[in-house]
A and B are shown apart, each in its own frame.
Chain A
Amino acid sequence: MSLNSYSPTMTPTTKAISPFLDPGPRTRANSLAILQLSRDNLLPVYLQSPTGNHDGYAEGAVVNTRYGSFPHSTMLNVPWGSQIRASKVDTGSRGRKRKREGADDACRDATAASEKDNEESPAVANEDSTAVKKAVADTSGFIHVLPPTPELWTTSLPHRTQVVYTPDYSYILHRIRARPGSVLIEAGAGSGSFTHASVRAVYNGYPAEGQRKGKVFSFEFHEQRYHKMKEELSGHGMDGLVHLTHRDVYNGGFLIDGNSPGADAVFLDLPAPWEALPHLSRRKPQPPFDVKTAASGDAEAEWVSPLNPKKSVHICTFSPCIEQVTRTVSAMRRLGWVDIDMVEIANRKLHTSRERVGLNLNFDRGVNNSARDVDEAIARLTEIECRFREHAAKPRDGDEDMDSADEDEPAPPTGRGATNNDEAPPVAEEASETAPWLEGRLITRGEPEIKTHTSYLVFAVLPMEWTEADEAAAAAKYPLGKEQKVIGAIDKVARKQERREQLQKQQGNGSRKARRKERDEKMGQAAA
């Protein structure tokens, strides 16, 4: 291959596969896990094997949440997805204990005695600092421990910049054809949400020395973010899969040590994509585009394209403002990109709930105690009307009248008149029969706040370069003049004629078997 492909200087990593790509059946020490506290409350944690007193905790490292305390030891070597009970952990005395470190036993006894009245588990204080305390289950709550995925990471990662969320990146990766084996350029690594998703998309094994495998070449301008990201990626076991570079791509371009990454797809999350676009050309761009190749001096002779020369390259740029889009699109047109398409993604989450409306329902939260339908409203009105008439019929006595009216009004229709007596019991029975979680009509509604705009996505394709020489070679390889039949949109007469011939041919060689064989052969040809 003539491709000046990037060869990693690092020796292939012999480390375990990233937990994002193969978490294994159980949780492991020193590996990332996502703790799910509640539906949308996720906490990324590196699980540590307990090695004695950690940060003042006798149980080793502990995660404290509003659902209780969870020592890492209770979350290690359990199947992924396990529900973990909270443990009784002494959270109160650890600050004082640390101050006390190295104090003699007598002193410890003294403090233990004073602790007795404000701590529930004074025994902890006597724990030897090297031994790990066995966690004791508590009843305060539970969490679930989930294997990391780009989706969970996206919702739980530490924000450094605006994050590319799942609805956007799932669509982008689909559209830019990021597949196992693809090489992807990402500029503006940001918080790393897109990086993780794209690693998953292009991953087809860790590359051995000099091997071309799916890989992400990520560029970050901001130095602190770069270092943080670097740390994160090695923590996640993605060293061999992501090549992170600290660079200003507007000026520096996308080459790695002067070599081409050979990218099949590009994702630009930059404030000015049009500044970076000229670097992503097959040839040195023409004058209006000023490519500052300061690094390689006289770049006139040796323009190295960061793109894969053997394929169409797909790109996506991610810009929040329409002005950025128009400039990007304009630059794309001049740089030879085609199939330029701009979309924005609107994603909505839906909550399901039970809508409970009715006069006979209890007064739980979320219950609408008004009439369920017209019949129920009429029944109630009739009842009130009846009662009113009864009252009117009674001999007048001021005070009594007021009292009884107050009493009657809010009471459920448990039957005053003869008509209600017939109706009420079945209603009551029904209510007791249906479980509370089955009551009411099932409805869906949007979440309280929706993201109405994330960014505009501009997609485009840069076809392979095709020269006169290539064309001549292809023309020689596939010469004209032997055309036998017509395919595609052919007129009715021709199609009929073809069908007739086909039928004759089929009758000729008869059996189903022969037809099947013919079809298989055809498929063989197609596959070849």
Chain B
Amino acid sequence: MHSLIRPNAWVALKLPSGSTKVLQIAPNTTISLGKYGAFPSNLVIGRPYHLTFELLDKLPDESFSRLRVVTTNELHADVFAEEAAPGCATPAAGANDTVISTTDGEEFSLVDEKGNVIARSNHEVLDENARQTLTQDEIEELKREGNNAGKDVIAKLLLSHTALDQKTSFSLAKYKLLKTKKYIRRFQVLPIDVANLAHWQLEERDASKILDLRAEMIGLVGSWGNVHFGGDDVLLPDPKAPTAAGDEACLPVDEDLLRGRWLVVDDTCGLLVAAMAERMGVLYDGEDPEMEKAEGQNGTTTAQTPAGLEKHQETRTSELIVPETTQKDSDTEMVDGPTNSLKRQNDGKPKQQKPRPSDFAIPYSQTNTITVIHSASQPNLSLLNYWGFDITSPNHPPHPLLNHLLNLSWLQLLKPELDTSYSTPPLTASPEVLASWKPSRRGNFHRKRRRYARIRHVVDSTRTGNFSGLVCASTMDPISILRHTLPLLAGGAPVAIYSPSVESLAALADCFSVPRRTAWVSGSVAETDGMSNEELERWEGNERFPLNPTLLQGVSIQTSRARRWQVLPGRTHPLMTERGGADGYVFTAWRAKPAEGKVAAKGKFKRRKVDSVDSEAATPAPA
């Protein structure tokens, strides 16, 4: 993924000012960078990511700027010049093998390539009036001429600064950087992955929309939630139910097939889901054409049921046509699962036409899935649009998330009988009646039946439980979330809950405090007497014990912060300012399976020897 910039890909353009523009690069358009200029999109499509491009001056007979790839030597030229200067504290790596010496000096000077002193350090106080001699009009004029990607402007500005020769190398570097940021006409194309999109949302868009979820936190939540690829796809067979078949045509949930499933509560507009999907390898759709060619097909592909099938004609082909481009190759790379092998043309319609599956076929994989529980009737996963996935779209072009992202509301999870789409039995019709209907009515009929089968499957499989982990970033009270999700977790499954502030997590951790646990074990809750473990797991809690405190182990809260540094020869230090706001905290724990009946923990007594270890062990195990 992300090797060359593909047509219509979402990308982030990083501008010299440090700001980022996120846009979809449509072929045959002009991309405008505001004051930095404009260029045709076809000049970056098909090129690699992370290159730095420079907008060239317009040729006399062309109306657009062409681009030039800036070499890295050019990008780092200033630093190289500094390193080459005598007296530089940190000489170029590889240039000589001298041990790094501390600078001997009070004197700093900046020397250009020819050895002329450009700036020096002295203790002369810079004249307050030492200013730029160019007027604003002159600068505007220079910009309009716009020569040499803004480098001329910067050079002229530097030259026209009357006190330039009195600046220290530090202030000169700062001044040059400031002017470069403002005038240099360069940009870099970055791929839209979770890290880049999250950074852009946090720094330039609405951080509150993603609950201030910083990169450190995305990493922590994913790691502590143990989110990873959950196994090769397992798809249920098509029940081949006739149109007259009703309820009973639904496939029962097979508990043994369900593996590698994660439960998510996401109020970050889908960023958390995207981060998890990335970790599970189901976020990115398709590869580069060359890579796609190299992709093999495996057995599961034939059982694949893309949700975009509504588009297909009802024609039934007796055999599957394997696209010519798909062939076995030693360099097979199946990053995104078998969906990739379905070839598409640019209009989004598959080349091959598969036999249409029955309405009760389940498109979801039984493994490697994300189950989103949402509080509204539809989940808000709008950020997934940047990866070409729209959960509200009924006729969706193939995307790995279609087979791996399940969603249900809290109502469907906890009181499915109150949910209309779950509890209304599916329509039935005999084939003759069906044939007599108008196509639109027939389409509706099938759509409703498909929806019924899917909701049944999602709700039933979720209620079966045995999830491999729970990951949360929600505005809801975590205690209430855990009350209903803890019973669904498999033993030993990790829980990772993100919150922008610590208070709600502290309240949650307090539910599992040692005194509360001890009180619970010693049987101070009368109403739970005689309950089996099964019942205790699903116990609704009371005021003194909002949750069963024995259901989680290793409860811990942590916070992480990345501090960024500037690394320049002789000027290495932490950045002066960084984004403040919510720190972000992560609650972690593991789902425990308490032993049946009372568990004593009186410690291990040795009868004869009485030593210090005894007194320690005599206290109840805090585990």
Binding site for B on A (CB under 8 A): 1, 3, 5, 7, 17, 21-23, 25, 36-39, 41, 66-68, 78-86, 118, 120, 139-147, 149-151, 166-167, 169-175, 177, 179-181, 197, 200-201, 203-205, 210-214, 274, 278, 288-290, 310-312, 322-323, 325-331, 333-334, 336-354, 435-438, 442-444, 456, 458, 461, 463-464, 466, 471, 474-475, 477-480, 482-490, 516-517, 519-521, 523-528
Cα of A274 to Cα of B97 in the assembled complex, Å: 11
Contact B397 A524 (CB under 8 A): yes
Contact B622 A39 (CB under 8 A): yes
For the complex with contacts A338-B72, A342-B564, A478-B43, 18 further pairs of A-B residues with Cβ separation under 8 Å are A5-B331, A81-B492, A81-B493, A167-B558, A169-B223, A171-B215, A200-B228, A326-B100, A330-B90, A338-B188, A349-B556, A352-B509, A352-B557, A463-B48, A471-B47, A521-B347, A525-B8, A525-B347
Instruction: Please tell me if B451 contacts chain A, counting CB pairs below 8 Å.
Output: no
Cα of A488 to Cα of B226 in the assembled complex, Å: 39
Interface residue from A25, A212, A343, A482 paired with B564 (Cβ < 8 Å):
A343
Contact B42 A478 (CB under 8 A): yes
Instruction: Please tell me if B344 contacts chain A, counting CB pairs below 8 Å.
Output: yes
Contact B95 A86 (CB under 8 A): no
Residues of A within 8 A of B95 (CB): 288
Q: Would you give the 0/1 interface string for B541-567, flagging 1 where the beta carbon is closer than 8 Å to chain A?
A: 000100000100111111111111111
Interface bracket on B: 35 or more
Q: Give chain B interface residues in 579-623, CB to chain A under 8 Å.
A: 585, 588, 590-595, 599-605, 607-608, 613, 616-617, 620-623
Q: How many residue pairs between the two chains, A and B, have CB atoms under 8 Å in the bound complex? A: 446
Contact A197 B595 (CB under 8 A): no
Contact B491 A79 (CB under 8 A): yes
Contact B559 A118 (CB under 8 A): no
Given contacts A212-B333, A345-B561, A442-B510, contact A527 B72 (CB under 8 A): no
State the majority secondary structure of interface residues on A: mixed
Contact B601 A140 (CB under 8 A): yes
Contact B30 A486 (CB under 8 A): yes
Cα of A151 to Cα of B345 in the assembled complex, Å: 44
Instruction: Please tell me if B251 contacts chain A, counting CB pairs below 8 Å.
Output: no
Interface residue from B7, B47, B396, B397 paired with A466 (Cβ < 8 Å):
B47
Nearest Cβ on chain A to B422's Cβ, whole angstroms: 25
Residues of A within 8 A of B515 (CB): 354, 436-437
Interface residue from A180, A200, A344 paired with B565 (Cβ < 8 Å):
A344
Given contacts A25-B466, A79-B593, contact A174 B218 (CB under 8 A): yes
Instruction: Please tell me if B285 contacts chain A, counting CB pairs below 8 Å.
Output: yes
Contact B8 A526 (CB under 8 A): yes
Task: Kindly specify which of B31-39, B110-118, B156-164, B170-178 makes contact with the partner chain.
Answer: B31-39
Residues of B within 8 A of A474 (CB): 45-47
Contact A527 B397 (CB under 8 A): yes
Cα of A482 to Cα of B560 in the assembled complex, Å: 49
Given contacts A67-B617, A171-B560, A349-B556, contact A180 B604 (CB under 8 A): no
Residues of A within 8 A of B220 (CB): 166-167, 170-171
Residues of B within 8 A of A325 (CB): 565, 567, 572
Given contacts A139-B602, A151-B224, contact A488 B346 (CB under 8 A): no
Instruction: Please tell me if B83 contacts chain A, counting CB pairs below 8 Å.
Output: yes
Contact B592 A81 (CB under 8 A): yes
Interface residue from A172, A333, A344, A489 paired with B32 (Cβ < 8 Å):
A489
Contact A435 B232 (CB under 8 A): no
Q: Give chain B interface residues in 10-50, CB to chain A under 8 Å.
A: 10, 13, 21, 23-24, 26-34, 38, 40-43, 45-50
Contact B559 A464 (CB under 8 A): no
Contact B506 A528 (CB under 8 A): no
Given contacts A140-B604, A171-B219, A312-B2, contact A527 B279 (CB under 8 A): no
Cα of A521 to Cα of B4 in the assembled complex, Å: 23
Contact A478 B46 (CB under 8 A): yes
Nearest Cβ on chain A to B90's Cβ, whole angstroms: 5
Instruction: Please tell me if B320 contacts chain A, counting CB pairs below 8 Å.
Output: no
Residues of B within 8 A of A213 (CB): 334
Instruction: Please tell me if B75 contacts chain A, counting CB pairs below 8 Å.
Output: yes
Contact A520 B604 (CB under 8 A): no
Cα of A179 to Cα of B388 in the assembled complex, Å: 19
Residues of A within 8 A of B558 (CB): 167, 347-350
Nearest Cβ on chain A to B565's Cβ, whole angstroms: 4
Contact A66 B616 (CB under 8 A): yes
- Chain A, Cβ-Cβ closest to B549: A437
Contact A147 B492 (CB under 8 A): yes
Given contacts A149-B226, A312-B48, contact A483 B216 (CB under 8 A): no
Nearest Cβ on chain A to B577's Cβ, whole angstroms: 15
Residues of B within 8 A of A488 (CB): 13, 21, 23, 31-34, 38
Contact A487 B32 (CB under 8 A): yes
Contact A528 B346 (CB under 8 A): yes
Contact B557 A349 (CB under 8 A): yes
Q: List 26 A-B contacts (CB under 8 A).
A: A36-B553, A39-B556, A67-B623, A78-B593, A81-B593, A82-B595, A83-B593, A140-B605, A144-B590, A144-B592, A151-B226, A177-B195, A328-B93, A333-B79, A341-B564, A342-B565, A345-B563, A463-B49, A478-B46, A483-B64, A488-B32, A490-B32, A525-B8, A528-B345, A528-B346, A528-B348
Residues of B within 8 A of A484 (CB): 28-29
- Chain A, Cβ-Cβ closest to B496: A151
Interface residue from B76, B224, B399 paired with A527 (Cβ < 8 Å):
B399
- Chain A, Cβ-Cβ closest to B345: A528
Given contacts A326-B569, A334-B93, A480-B42, contact A311 B3 (CB under 8 A): yes
Nearest Cβ on chain B to A91's Cβ, whole angstroms: 10
Instruction: Please tell me if B426 contacts chain A, counting CB pairs below 8 Å.
Output: no
Contact A331 B565 (CB under 8 A): no
Cα of A517 to Cα of B348 in the assembled complex, Å: 12
Contact A338 B75 (CB under 8 A): yes
Given contacts A147-B492, A171-B560, A201-B279, contact A435 B519 (CB under 8 A): yes
Residues of A within 8 A of B553 (CB): 36, 81, 144, 146
Contact B52 A338 (CB under 8 A): yes
Given contacts A346-B560, A463-B50, A527-B398, contact A177 B193 (CB under 8 A): yes
Interface residue from A118, A204, A444, A479 paired with B506 (Cβ < 8 Å):
A444
Cα of A211 to Cα of B232 in the assembled complex, Å: 15
Nearest Cβ on chain B to A442's Cβ, whole angstroms: 5
Nearest Cβ on chain A to B526's Cβ, whole angstroms: 13
Interface residue from B9, B75, B294, B555 paired with A1 (Cβ < 8 Å):
B294
Nearest Cβ on chain B to A41's Cβ, whole angstroms: 8
Cα of A181 to Cα of B333 in the assembled complex, Å: 7
Instruction: Please tell me if B51 contacts chain A, counting CB pairs below 8 Å.
Output: yes
Nearest Cβ on chain B to A25's Cβ, whole angstroms: 6
Across the A-B interface, the 10 shortest Cβ-Cβ residue pairs: A524-B348, A80-B492, A180-B281, A81-B491, A170-B219, A81-B492, A489-B34, A139-B600, A331-B93, A437-B515
